[in-house]
Amino acid sequence: MPTIKRIDHIAIVVDDIPSALTFWRDALGLELAHVEDVPDQESIVAFLPTGESEIELVKPTTDTSGVAKFLQKRGAGMHHICLEVDDIDAMLAHLKEKGVQLIHETAIHGSGGKKIAFIHPKSTSGVLVELYELPTPAP
């Protein structure tokens, strides 16, 4: 049975990274690990590690992406949680068998060689859930 290992990150959609950092970094004291422009996801993303997880601030850079539409409709706020799984292919097959509605029935490639997939909020009590599996280190 594939296993969930931990919360990798919580993604928060924001309208402006610098003003979001006045709380998450400057007031709360989290360290800003790095900021990355991710044109594939039409976003700028800032990563703030805490314990074994990260707070991820996501600012849309276009008006048409999923996060941009989320921001327009609901305003800034929590967007999804990402859970690390040890075997994403086995987990997706298992979830499908259980009747869970998947946005990606097979894993897609995320940044840094990660394999990722999203689960539809209809099956999760309204939470957009991302699964990811770390790339196997080169031998």
Q: Is 100 exposed, middle or buried (0-12, 13-18, 19+ CB in 10 A)?
A: middle
CB 115 → a second copy: shortest distance, Å?
17
Site membership for a second copy, residue 23 (CB under 8 A): yes
> In whole angstroms, how large is the CA radius of gyration of the chain?
15
CB 60 → a second copy: shortest distance, Å?
13
Phi-psi domain of 89 (left: phi exceeds 0; alpha: psi -120 through 50; beta: other):
alpha
CB 55 within 8 A of CB 48: yes
Please say which residue, 75 or 113, places its beta carbon nearer to a second copy.
75
Site membership for a second copy, residue 126 (CB under 8 A): yes
Per-residue binding letters, 33-72, with a second copy (x by CB under 8 A):
-----------------xxxx---x---------------
Q: How many other C-beta atoms can be found within 10 angstroms of the C-beta atom of residue 19?
A: 10
Dig out the tokens for 111 from the structure: 């940044």
* List of residues contacting a second copy (CB under 8 A): 1-7, 10, 12-15, 19-20, 23-24, 26-30, 50-53, 57, 75-78, 81, 83, 94-95, 98, 100, 121, 123-127
